[in-house]
Amino acid sequence: MAPKPKEKPKAAASPSQPPPPIEDLFTSLNRHIQRSEFTQAVKVANQVLSVAPGDEDAIRCKVVALIKADKIEEALSAIQSSQKVSFDFSFYKAYCLYRQNKLDEALEVLGKQDKTQPSMLLESQILYRLGKMDACVDICRNLQKAKIDSLEINLVAGLISAGRASEVQGTLDAIKTKATSSFELAYNIACSLIAGNKLKDAEKLLLTARRIGQETLTEENLADDDIEIELAPIAVQLAYVHQLLGQTQEAAGAYTDIVNRNLADEPSLAVAVNNLIAVKGPKEISDSLRKLDRLKEKDSQKFELARAIDLKLSPKQKETIYANRVLLLLHANKMDQARELVAVLPEMFPDNVMPLLLQAAVLVRENKAGKAEEMLGQFAERFPEKSKIILLARAQVAAAAGHPQIAADSLAKVPDIQHMPATVATLVALKERAGDINGAAAVLDSAIKWWKTAMTEGDQLSVIMQEAASFKLRHGKEEEAAHLYEELVKSNGNIEALVGLISTVAHANVEKAEAYEKQLKSLPGLKGVDVDALEKTSGAKPVDGASRAGLAEAQEDGKTKEKPKKKRKRKPRYPKGFDPANPGPPPDPERWLPKRERSSYRPKRKDKRAAQVRGSQGAVVRDKNEPSASATNSNTSNSKSNQSTSSKGVSQSAEPLRPQSKSSRKKSRK
């Protein structure tokens, strides 16, 4: 056995080269940062920290480079490992938490730090993301004296999102800034014009913003695709303006072009998809669901917005997208997916009532209107400050389900609309349908009392009083109806009320009715009519031509009567060659009937020879009425085909509920 070869001795490790001087490392670090080479900057910062552990400048450069490279988790780890350093990294930590959408934690970290311009700007961004717009606007106003670049863009965006779009123009005048100073500001001001329903002005300003943006970004040497992505919010907002103006085809074409080209940032693409679905409505449901699937996380089986979209959309926009998803699922009859989605919406939007309304819609779609009414009623009792829209929805569900009393009770719990004519009419109709006549009359009396004390202009009071009088007269309350009619006549001399008063009072007090009857103006054309003689007649009778002419004379008071026109007698026209003196035999009266229905018809005899046996010896003769095997198979296959066709037709004719999708608007950019 051969001996094992000896292992070669390992070469001695060469001594490690000494690190470059720390000054050179910082020079290299600065060069990488200037070139935006953040990954290389992190490596050089690590080299500096290996030579000088705990160097504050190196740690700060490393954290900033990691944030710039979108490595937020690594930046937080670097901040955690540098707790022994005296430098305060609270601002950087809060910014990293803000980037991770941990907004409450970021706000808590900022609260422990002194108020500086960067921290206040970050706080305003966090408040904007949280939907606390008024607080965001207050911070931006406090920073106006600092003359921070682009602060007016954030200020205008906050005002619009806070529902204070009317203050935008005054704010611009106060800070002496033109709307066209930048394309971002022009875009935001156009959003304020849309909020004020000044759509034509908004369209012009958006076109100006797009032109300014193209010029600005071209000067910055951006590629054409990058410019289109940067200006995508303006394109989406223009399409939305066209949608509001009723130009749906143009809006749908713009949305489709944005979605198909896929040259837009994530929020703009999400808004374009949602608005395109809203324009289509209940058409092409499967295609709309596929387009919405582009917005969800790729690896998620459930519908959940992608992280990049979820971070940049406002809560209202996200809520609208989820609501439209539920409505499409209901329309497509995908009840399991709709039930699963509405179950998680209350956790995602705890402060909004939209998830509850969607749950009620699912229950109604499942023919569980009673359960939906109970759920809405319990929520209205627990949260009275949010009960208005819930009670209105409950009233609608109950009215559609045939529960008029529940619908009336729900409407009666909304105090600020009780006096409105539409609400009064609805309540009266519901209570009348439920058999509560006294309750309906009480609603009318309460509305009349409110409008009598209200200092408003208009004819609402007279309209409600007249309808109340008609209602009470219809239900046997003549005295109350007469009192209302009398008030109307004395207040504004209403002719219809006077007629109603006369017809109502005539049953109880004829003299009073005759007194009011004198206020009626005589109708033209009744001077020549003898009313007493007309009352003695037994009714209208058919009269001959002479009597009609006499009546016309009496009504026209001596007008010249027209002579009746004489009808000319026309000679009968005969066929060519026909002699009326010798007409010949009369025509057959049955000439228009089919031959089989004429009395002279005789059917043909059957040929007896057809039944004789023909063919080879031993052949079996079949009866004509006995079907063959091939014919039986053919008929069977035909019946199956017809059966499948008819069942398909039934499924196509069944139409599910058609809820209306709602349209979400692209908000102001920050």
pLDDT at 13 over 50: no
pLDDT at 547 over 70: no
pLDDT at 663 over 50: no
Lowest mean pLDDT among 32-41, 247-256, 605-614: 605-614
Angstrom CA distances, 162 to 293, 373, 648, 664, stand at 31, 33, 52, 16
Q: What percent of the chain has pLDDT over 90?
A: 43
Residue 493 Rama label (left phi>0; alpha psi -120 to 50; beta): left
Give the span between the Cα atoms of 590 and 599, in whole angstroms.
8
Greater confidence (593 vs 569) lies with: 593
- 331-373, pLDDT tens digit by residue? 999 999 999 999 999 999 988 999 999 999 999 999 999 999 9
Contact 268, 666 (CB under 8 A): yes
Angstrom CA distances, 477 to 69, 202, 507, stand at 81, 57, 12
Q: Residue 156, class by beta-carbon neighbours within 10 Å (0-12 exposed, 13-18 middle, 19+ buried)?
A: buried
φ, ψ (nearest 5 deg) of residue 619: -70, 145
Contact 533, 502 (CB under 8 A): no
Contact 36, 45 (CB under 8 A): no
pLDDT on residue 235? 95
Give the span between the Cα atoms of 64 and 56, in whole angstroms.
12
Beta pairing partners, 296: 305
- The distance in angstroms from the start CA to the end CA of the chain is 82
pLDDT at 325 over 90: yes
- 552-581, pLDDT tens digit by residue? 555 555 444 455 666 777 778 878 877 878
User: pLDDT-derived band of residue 651, with 50, 70 and 90 as boundaries?
Assistant: very low
Angstrom CA distances, 39 to 76, 78, 403, 642, stand at 16, 14, 68, 70
φ, ψ (nearest 5 deg) of residue 305: -60, 140
pLDDT at 295 over 70: yes
Angstrom CA distances, 646 to 457, 642, 650, 654, 656, stand at 62, 6, 6, 13, 19
Give the span between the Cα atoms of 370 and 141, in whole angstroms.
51
Greater confidence (618 vs 494) lies with: 494
Angle at 38 between CA 36 and CA 43, to 5 degrees: 140
pLDDT at 630 over 50: no
Beta pairing partners, 305: 296
SS3 299: coil
Greater confidence (351 vs 513) lies with: 351
pLDDT on residue 608? 59
3-state percent helix, strand, coil for the chain, nearest multiple of 5: 65, 0, 35
The string of DSSP letters for 218-287 reads: HHTT--HHHHHHHTHHHHHHHHHHHHHTT-HHHHHHHHHHHHHHT-S-HHHHHHHHHHHHHHHTTSSHHH
Greater confidence (566 vs 379) lies with: 379
Contact 474, 437 (CB under 8 A): no
Q: What is the dihedral of CA 216, 221, 224, 228, to 10 degrees?
A: -40
Give the span between the Cα atoms of 330 and 358, in whole angstroms.
10
Give the span between the Cα atoms of 259 and 243, in whole angstroms.
16
Give the span between the Cα atoms of 84 and 76, in whole angstroms.
15
pLDDT on residue 36? 87
φ, ψ (nearest 5 deg) of residue 367: 60, 40
Angstrom CA distances, 358 to 42, 253, 614, stand at 49, 30, 79
Domains of the chain with bracketed CATH: 436-519 (1.25.40)
